[in-house]
Structure 1
Amino acid sequence: MRAIVHEGKNGLEGLQVKEMAEKNLAENEVKIKIHTAGMNRRDLAVITKRHTAEDPALIPGSDASGVVEAIGENVKRFKEGDEVVVNPGLGWQKNSDAPPEGFEIVGLPDHGTFAEYYLCTEDHVEKKPAHLSFEEAGVLPLAALTAYRALFTRGKLQADQTVMLPGIGSGVLTFALKFAKAIGARVIVTSRSEQKQEEALKLGADIAISTEADWQEALKSEKVDLLIESIGNATFNKSLNVIRKGGTIVTFGSTTEDEVSFNIRQFFYGQYNLLGSTMGSGEELRDMLAFVSKHEIRPQLDKIFTVEEHKQAFEYIRDSQNFGKIGFRMT
């Protein structure tokens, strides 16, 4: 089968399109013919953090939509022809405070979804929301699940609250914006890009300011109940300074330095809550898909690349050019 593969060299230089052998279908597996494979910043991290010649060829990719082409003899939930999406999490089925030991994400260490076909056990597949196209569904699972858990499971966002989303533009944060507005919450966003600020306002954000602005001054009349932090060291203290006393910061990533320092006395006097979050369980994925269907939410789809444009796609997400999600058309 044809696939986007990383091997031999670190980073973008190790990417190529090549033929890869297909796995044999096990009795509890489904074979999915991939239509669209969504791309995430994780895919960039995967190809930049792997070693070089010592690592075997790897097909990256964690998201996908497609059609069930074949099923193992013990598969009960699906039949050939079903339109489906891939669950990007492996080994986390039931809701829990944290992922269980052995939890992995599709695309490392095993092969991922940037290929013509993907095989997995039937408990790692869900029906595609009917109102979504294959392109929309293919970029949905990982980012939308991450946003859903951060907002609702961890952040416990309510309709009468205000949530702040620094660095709007990523797939996760555009989902968070749409999810928060779907329940009626107030949303504040930041971006260094005026264009991204304007796009966020069009999607329903109530306030958009520059990431480089004085947040305390710009938001002095606002009460921020929940803040979703994904930038890291560059903005963490600005986030801490703008959240209301007793408010909550949920962090799920770090696009700048991982290590942060802050005034612990200020933190405990302010009675703040700091929570980590990582993707979500299979149960949360099903809850998220039901939420998306109920509110007829569509991903903010930025651009779909061809397989031949794989390096351009990795550069596009590396340089944060996207507003919303990108992916590959694999058919």
Structure 2
Amino acid sequence: MKAIVQEEYGAAGVLGLADVPPPQPREGLTTVELRAAALNWHDVLVRQGQYSSPLPHTPGADGAGVDLSTGEEVVILPSLWWGDDDSAPGPDWEILGDHRPGTYAELVQVPKECVAPKPRGLSWTEAAALPLVGLTTYRALVSRAGLKSGESLLVLGAGGGVATAAVSLAVSIGARVWVTSSNESKIARARAAGARGGVRYLDPGWPEAARDLVGGRGFDVVLDPVGDWAASIRALRPGGRLAVLGASRAEQATLDSRPYYFGQYSLLGTTMGSPRDFSGLLRLMDQGASPPVIDRVYPLEQAAQAHTRMESGEAFGKIVLEI
């Protein structure tokens, strides 16, 4: 079968198309014939070697295709062996494409519990773009932060996959959503997708500017996928919740203890979710939540160019490989 393979860690150019053996049948696993695979920033980190993936390696966590054991059109849950405790993943948990071959291929093998029917009305590219960021965002907003209809949400970093998914899911819940971005064009695109507005985070006073958007009191929930915890807390109302799930801007955060506990804030760490979270996400999609925003589609053999696009910071929404 054809697959994208990296023989070494490094820049996007290490990704190349190759012929590799197809997966062999194994108890408890099923093989999916992929139609599309979506990129995530996680894939860039895998490519760079930050997860010590075995070489040679095929990256990719997101995919959609046909389950060869049933003939059903499915999406893949990339959160493998989560376990029975929904509060946190178990000791065997891993992300597809970290230590086993991922979805940048014609075929991928996953646990049987990690396939679900493709949501009605989604194209192959939209379905492939849904699982990782959709599940991560659903868990952050619904399972962890408990976002409710009528509440206010601020999403950091408009344009990324998590941010675009957060706008869509929050609007479908009935929340009021604002965003931050480095430029006005991405704020405008977020507004077109359902956000009510936003602020530019290049201004050091952006948390106070964001608070002004909701009458000065602050937001019920802030979703931070970039690691800017101290500034994010400044945008919260007293008693607000901060859900954090990434560190693209900062690996460490320093918080002032006294304002934090007097503010009665909740700091909620979160990652991808469980199969039960995934079922909740798929129910929202079937109830009419907007499909994932697609930035650009590339053929499988152009995975390196797709990674270059992702790293440019110019994309708005998901980048997808068509297989």
TM-score range, shorter chain: over 0.9
Among candidates 134, 140, 158, match of residue 144 of structure 1: 134
Residue 13 of structure 1: how far off its partner (Å): 3.6
Is 2:222 aligned against 1:227? yes
- 1:1-331 to 2 correspondence within 5 Å? 1-50=1-50, 55-69=54-68, 71=69, 79=70, 81-213=71-203, 214-215=205-206, 216-220=208-212, 221-222=215-216, 223-232=218-227, 235-330=228-323
DSSP 3-state at the match of 2:287: helix
Compare 302-311 and 38-47 and name the one that shifted more.
302-311
Give ranges in structure 2 of 5+ residues lacking alignment: none
Q: Compared with structure 1, are the counterparts of its residues 218 and 32 closer, same or farther at alpha carbon in structure 2 (3 Å cutoff)?
A: closer
Residue 271 of structure 1: how far off its partner (Å): 1.1
Question: Aligned partners of 1:129 and 1:143: how far apart in 2?
Answer: 15
| Percent of residue pairs bearing the same amino acid type | 31
> Structure 1 length normalisation: TM-score?
0.92
Residue 55 of structure 1: how far off its partner (Å): 4.3
Residue 68 of structure 1: how far off its partner (Å): 2.1
Give ranges in structure 1 of 5+ residues lacking alignment: 72-78
Q: Answer whether contact 2:36 2:63 (CA < 8 A) is retained.
A: yes
Q: Answer whether contact 2:162 2:225 (CA < 8 A) is retained.
A: no
> Structure 2 length normalisation: TM-score?
0.94
**Offset from partner CA, 1:57-77 (integer Å, 9 cap, x none):** 1100001011123x2xxxxxx
DSSP 3-state at the match of 2:100: coil
Question: Aligned partners of 2:255 and 2:51: how far apart in 1?
Answer: 34
Q: Compared with structure 1, are the counterparts of its residues 127 and 218 closer, same or farther at alpha carbon in structure 2 (3 Å cutoff)?
A: closer
Residue 297 of structure 1: how far off its partner (Å): 2.2
Residue 316 of structure 1: how far off its partner (Å): 1.1
**Offset from partner CA, 1:266-315 (integer Å, 9 cap, x none):** 11111111010011001110111111111242111111111222111111
Letter in 1 for 2:26: A
- C-alpha root-mean-square deviation of aligned residues, in Å? 1.7
Question: Aligned partners of 1:164 and 1:188: how far apart in 2?
Answer: 5
Count of matched residue positions in the alignment of Structure 1 and Structure 2: 318
Q: Following superposition, which runs of at least 4 residues in structure 1 exceed 4 angstroms of deviation?
A: none
Q: Compared with structure 1, are the counterparts of its residues 118 and 152 closer, same or farther at alpha carbon in structure 2 (3 Å cutoff)?
A: same
